[in-house]
């Protein structure tokens, strides 16, 4: 038994089932087909939040928390790109405190591109991307000090967060900033719900950029992954059904059905073994 | 498409192909044989990036301090902290390496004694440059190496104890304990050494086994004594002050803020405004009461209700969030690999 650290044919099949619909819907979206995405209040609030900053003449802060160079960062960058364009349009100051030195370079490039796209490259200031610290709590201390000093009007907290989430969100709360958060870590979601005006939960972060930009690739990708998720929902329902049947079968002496997860564990590539 | 963009896409794709194949191809294909070497390459790139980061840090903050630009004072603090930590950590590293090297000298001889006994029991006679090395010859080599070691250890012990002030020596119980243990282990080793020397060319495995055990105790007690003496040094005090006194304490101070923030957040969350907030408040009440002895006093079922709330609805919701986020992350990873990028990043 190879465990889950290495692929098995079952996992390969699941990957194909996941990627197939994504590629298909990206193609559909590129052909110009209109794809509906449900309204997400937190994403709608991004426009309101950037507008608020312009009205008050105070900065916007956008933190990706402890996110390193991972797919989650690219999801955050999609939203940052949108926020940076808005900031450039309204001449708002944008601060992007950072925890990971590698992310700093990527974020700088994204901001430069956003200002250039908006036709205001001269407004881009590389000092707006501030590297605070790689240490979790030193980063939190730096962030808290920064939002207090700059009296930010709007704070975006998008990405991966850990124990520092509440410190960051409370700092914004104390100065009355409008806060929109998106956490991939379920443990931090309650803290954000308590302290932020809007909170995106889990995968909504990945959908935010698609919703905001309505770009075919992002929309198609979002549509495809939602369809692919159906496969997993079906697997869960079938698995629950089999487990329930097997528990009755054990009581009434009936023959049990094979466990649905077993075919995922099969490691024999000759497809001759059955578990 | 520019050459730069093409290069980035090409390297990303090839990197993705490598990791994908490593993940999906069966281990029997041997594709992963070189994985460790490739992973070491990543560590090397990381180390170089660290050096570049250090240079960059010195340039950015050094420039700020030199030209008295805005925020130069915190830059001074940063540079002083950086240099102090680097110097003290380097000295600490040097001292601990010195201790390890001395202990290594003892453990190497212990391993040699073990090896002689093991080879003798299996009847193995090693050969170096055409010369056969029976146990008696190897024992002589061992004793030849042990004699100067025992003498060196006496000197090292004197030197070590001289470093520590008289009053510290008297008050440091750990140091006293290891000093006594070391003296006894050294005396024991010398006694066994003398016995072996007396036996001359005769080879008795049990004698070498006892010597090996004595060397093992000697190594442990010498490490303990050296570490206890090093613990009294200025470098160790400075290191402890900077790392445990400042760094860890500041982190702990930040963490302790969470207690106050959780209370403030809980106060806001528990304002009953809607049906959902009533449900949340009720669930939270059960969880909190189920956690404390007072809850058990009210009802013995409360801890069970608490556990059910945490393990069934709460864990189920968390797993659903995790599953959605993981699937979305996987799709995003595939898009990155195949460079199916949004218009924004082209």
**Inter-chain residue contact A225 with B327, CB threshold 8 Å:** yes
pLDDT tens for each residue of A17-55: 888 999 899 889 888 888 888 888 889 999 999 999 999
The reported pLDDT for the residue numbered A101 is: 84
Q: CA-to-CA distance for B189 and B218, rounded, in angstroms?
A: 8
Question: Which site among A28, A98, A137 would you substitute to test the B interface, given the most B Cβ atoms closer than 10 Å to its Cβ?
Answer: A137
- How many angstroms away from the CA of B202 is the closest CA of chain A? 53
Residue among A83, A29, A202, A145 at smallest CA distance from B335: A29
Lowest mean pLDDT among A101-115, A143-157, A249-263, B300-314: A249-263
**Interval A172-180 mean pLDDT:** 94
The reported pLDDT for the residue numbered A247 is: 93
- What is the enclosing helix (H) or strand (E) of A97? strand A94-98
Lowest mean pLDDT among A175-184, A237-246, B68-77, B264-273: B264-273
Q: CA-to-CA distance for B320 and B300, rounded, in angstroms?
A: 31
**Inter-chain residue contact A225 with B328, CB threshold 8 Å:** yes
- How many angstroms away from the CA of A167 is the closest CA of chain B? 7
**Inter-chain residue contact B340 with A269, CB threshold 8 Å:** no
**Inter-chain residue contact A167 with B257, CB threshold 8 Å:** yes
Nearest CB to B53 within list A19, A101, A140: A101
Return the sign of the alpha-carbon dihedral for residues A204, A206, A211, A217. Answer: negative
Buried b / exposed e over B101-135, threshold 16 CB at 10 Å, is: ebbeebbebbebbbbbbebbeeeeeeeeeeeebeb
CA distances from A31 to A25, A28, A219 (A): 10, 5, 12
Q: Torsion angle, CA of B159/B162/B168/B173, rounded to 10 degrees? A: 40
Q: Which residues pair with A180 in a beta bridge?
A: A156, A198
**Interval A247-264 mean pLDDT:** 85
The reported pLDDT for the residue numbered B107 is: 94
Cα A30 to chain centroid, rounded = 23
CB-based contacts of B192, cutoff 8 Å, min separation 6: B207, B210, B211, B214
Nearest CB to B336 within list A71, A114, A137: A71
Return the sign of the alpha-carbon dihedral for residues B250, B253, B258, B260. Answer: negative
- How many angstroms away from the CA of B231 is the closest CA of chain A? 27
- Calculate what percentage of chain A has a pLDDT beyond 90: 51
Residue among A88, A107, A96 at smallest CA distance from A130: A96
Residue among A147, A187, A138 at smallest CA distance from A170: A147
Query: What rounded mean pLDDT belongs to chain A?
Result: 88
- What is the enclosing helix (H) or strand (E) of A130? strand A129-131
Q: CA-to-CA distance for A129 and A262, rounded, in angstroms?
A: 48
Query: What is the pTM for the complete model shown?
Result: 0.77
Greatest pairwise CA separation for chain A in angstroms = 77
- In chain B, the N- to C-terminal Cα span, in Å, equals 9
Q: CA-to-CA distance for B9 and B346, rounded, in angstroms?
A: 11
Nearest CB to A202 within list B265, B268, B325: B325
Query: What rounded mean pLDDT belongs to chain B?
Result: 87
More confidently predicted of B63 and B270: B63
The reported pLDDT for the residue numbered A12 is: 84
- How many angstroms away from the CA of A206 is the closest CA of chain B? 6
The reported pLDDT for the residue numbered A4 is: 43
Chain A with chain B: Cβ pairs closer than 8 A: 137
Q: CA-to-CA distance for A218 and A25, rounded, in angstroms?
A: 10
The reported pLDDT for the residue numbered A244 is: 93
Q: CA-to-CA distance for B56 and B344, rounded, in angstroms?
A: 29
Q: CA-to-CA distance for B170 and A229, rounded, in angstroms?
A: 70
- What is the enclosing helix (H) or strand (E) of A156? strand A154-160
- How many angstroms away from the CA of A55 is the closest CA of chain B? 27
The reported pLDDT for the residue numbered A269 is: 57
The interaxial angle of helices B135-163 and B173-199, nearest 10 deg, is 150
Long-range contacts made by residues B238-243, C-beta under 8 angstroms, separation at least 24?
A: B238/B88, B239/B88, B239/B89, B239/B91, B239/B92, B242/B84, B242/B85, B242/B88
**Inter-chain residue contact B328 with A81, CB threshold 8 Å:** no
pLDDT tens for each residue of A124-139: 998 899 989 888 999 9
Asked if residue B38 has pLDDT above 90, the reply is no
Q: CA-to-CA distance for B281 and A250, rounded, in angstroms?
A: 40
In this prediction, residue A267 has a pLDDT band, given cuts at 50, 70 and 90, of low
- How many angstroms away from the CA of B51 is the closest CA of chain A? 12
Residue B22: Cβ-neighbour burial (10 angstroms; 0-12, 13-18, 19+):
middle
Residue that the structure tokens 């991939």 belong to? A184
CB-based contacts of A4, cutoff 8 Å, min separation 6: A11
Measured between beta carbons, the chain A residues lying within 8 angstroms of B325 are 72, 184, 202-203, 205-206
In this prediction, residue A3 has a pLDDT band, given cuts at 50, 70 and 90, of very low
Highest mean pLDDT among B163-167, B170-174, B181-185, B341-345: B181-185
Q: Which residues pair with A61 in a beta bridge?
A: A95, A155
Measured between beta carbons, the chain A residues lying within 8 angstroms of B330 are 15, 18, 71
Q: CA-to-CA distance for A108 and A128, rounded, in angstroms?
A: 9
- Calculate what percentage of chain B has a pLDDT beyond 90: 39
Residue of A nearest to B335 (CA): A221
Sheet holding A60-65, edge to edge: A129-131, A94-98, A60-65, A154-160, A178-183, A198-201
Q: CA-to-CA distance for A60 and A150, rounded, in angstroms?
A: 9
**Inter-chain residue contact A72 with B332, CB threshold 8 Å:** yes
**Inter-chain residue contact B343 with A213, CB threshold 8 Å:** yes
Asked if residue A272 has pLDDT above 70, the reply is no
Residue among A47, A125, A141 at smallest CA distance from A93: A125
Measured between beta carbons, the chain B residues lying within 8 angstroms of A138 are 250-251, 254
Asked if residue B1 has pLDDT above 80, the reply is no
Lowest mean pLDDT among B163-172, B227-236, B255-264: B163-172
**Interval A239-254 mean pLDDT:** 91
Measured between beta carbons, the chain A residues lying within 8 angstroms of B23 are 6-7
**Inter-chain residue contact B336 with A74, CB threshold 8 Å:** yes
Lowest mean pLDDT among B127-136, B157-166, B211-220, B256-265: B157-166
In this prediction, residue A81 has a pLDDT band, given cuts at 50, 70 and 90, of very high
The reported pLDDT for the residue numbered A270 is: 58
pLDDT tens for each residue of B100-150: 998 999 999 999 999 999 998 888 888 888 888 888 889 889 999 999 999
Question: Which site among B324, B333, B337, B343 would you substitute to test the A interface, given the most A Cβ atoms closer than 10 Å to its Cβ?
Answer: B324
Q: Enumerate domains of chain A plus CATH numbers.
A: 9-34+229-265 (no CATH), 41-214 (3.40.50.720)
Question: Which site among A75, A83, A186 would you substitute to test the B interface, given the most B Cβ atoms closer than 10 Å to its Cβ?
Answer: A186
Mark out the alpha helices in B3-71 (DSSP H runs): 3-24, 35-66
CB-based contacts of A117, cutoff 8 Å, min separation 6: A85, B344
Q: CA-to-CA distance for A183 and A171, rounded, in angstroms?
A: 17
The reported pLDDT for the residue numbered B260 is: 87
Residue of A nearest to B337 (CA): A71
- How many angstroms away from the CA of A163 is the closest CA of chain B? 8
The reported pLDDT for the residue numbered A273 is: 44
**Inter-chain residue contact B331 with A163, CB threshold 8 Å:** no
């Amino acid at each position: 038994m190879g465990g889950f650290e290495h692929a098995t044919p079952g996992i390969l099949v699941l990957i194909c089932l996941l990627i197939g619909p994504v590629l298909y819907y990206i193609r559909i979206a590129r052909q110009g087909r209109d794809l509906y995405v449900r309204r997400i209040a937190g994403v709608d609030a991004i426009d309101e939040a950037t507008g608020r900053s312009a009205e008050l003449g105070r900065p916007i802060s956008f933190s990706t928390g402890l996110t390193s160079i991972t797919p989650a960062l690219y999801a955050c960058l999609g939203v940052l790109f949108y926020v940076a364009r808005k900031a450039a349009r309204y001449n708002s100051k944008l601060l992007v405190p950072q925890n990971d030195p590698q992310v700093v370079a990527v974020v700088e490039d994204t901001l430069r591109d956003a200002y250039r796209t908006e036709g205001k490259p001269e407004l881009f200031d590389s000092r707006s991307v501030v590297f605070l610290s790689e240490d979790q709590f030193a980063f939190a201390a730096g962030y808290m000090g920064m939002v207090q000093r700059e009296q930010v009007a709007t704070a975006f907290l998008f990405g991966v967060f850990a124990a520092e989430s509440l410190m960051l969100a409370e700092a914004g709360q104390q100065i009355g900033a409008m806060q929109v958060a998106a956490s991939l870590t379920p443990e931090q979601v309650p803290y954000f719900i308590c302290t932020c005006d809007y909170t995106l939960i889990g995968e909504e972060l990945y959908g935010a950029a698609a919703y905001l930009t309505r770009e075919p690739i992002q929309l198609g990708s979002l549509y495809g992954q939602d369809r692919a998720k159906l496969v997993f929902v079906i697997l869960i329902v079938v698995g629950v059904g089999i487990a329930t049947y097997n528990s009755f079968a054990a009581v009434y002496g009936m023959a049990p059905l094979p466990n649905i997860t077993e075919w995922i564990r099969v490691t024999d590539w000759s497809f001759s073994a059955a578990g | 498409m520019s050459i730069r963009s093409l290069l980035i896409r090409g390297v990303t794709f090839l990197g993705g192909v490598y990791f994908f194949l490593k993940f999906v191809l069966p281990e029997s294909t041997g594709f992963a044989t070189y994985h460790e070497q490739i992973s070491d390459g990543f560590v090397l790139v990381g180390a170089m990036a660290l050096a570049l980061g250090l240079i960059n840090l010195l340039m950015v903050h050094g420039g700020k301090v030199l030209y008295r630009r805005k925020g130069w004072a915190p830059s001074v603090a940063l540079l002083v902290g950086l240099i102090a930590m680097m110097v003290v950590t380097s000295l600490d590293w040097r001292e601990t390496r010195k201790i390890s090297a001395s202990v290594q000298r003892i453990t190497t001889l212990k391993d040699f004694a073990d090896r002689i006994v093991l080879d003798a029991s299996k009847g193995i006679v090693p050969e170096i440059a055409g010369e056969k090395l029976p146990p008696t010859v190897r024992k002589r080599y061992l004793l030849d190496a042990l004699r100067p070691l025992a003498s060196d250890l006496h000197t090292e012990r004197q030197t070590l104890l001289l470093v520590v002030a008289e009053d510290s020596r008297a008050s440091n119980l750990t140091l006293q304990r290891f000093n006594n243990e070391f003296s006894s282990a050294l005396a024991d080793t010398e006694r066994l050494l003398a016995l072996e020397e007396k036996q001359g060319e005769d080879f008795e495995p049990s004698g070498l086994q006892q010597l090996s055990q004595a060397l093992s105790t000697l190594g442990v007690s010498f490490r303990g004594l050296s570490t206890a003496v090093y613990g009294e040094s200025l470098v160790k005090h400075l290191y402890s002050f900077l790392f445990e006194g400042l760094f860890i304490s500041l982190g702990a101070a930040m963490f302790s803020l969470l207690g106050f923030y959780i209370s403030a957040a809980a106060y806001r969350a528990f304002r009953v405004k809607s049906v959902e907030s009533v449900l949340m408040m009720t669930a939270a009440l059960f969880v909190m009461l189920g956690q404390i002895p007072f809850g058990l006093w009210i009802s013995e079922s409360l801890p069970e209700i608490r556990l059910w709330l945490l393990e069934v609805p709460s864990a189920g919701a968390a797993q659903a969030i995790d599953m959605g986020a993981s699937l979305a992350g996987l799709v995003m990873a595939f898009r990155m690999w195949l460079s199916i990028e949004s218009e924004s990043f082209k």
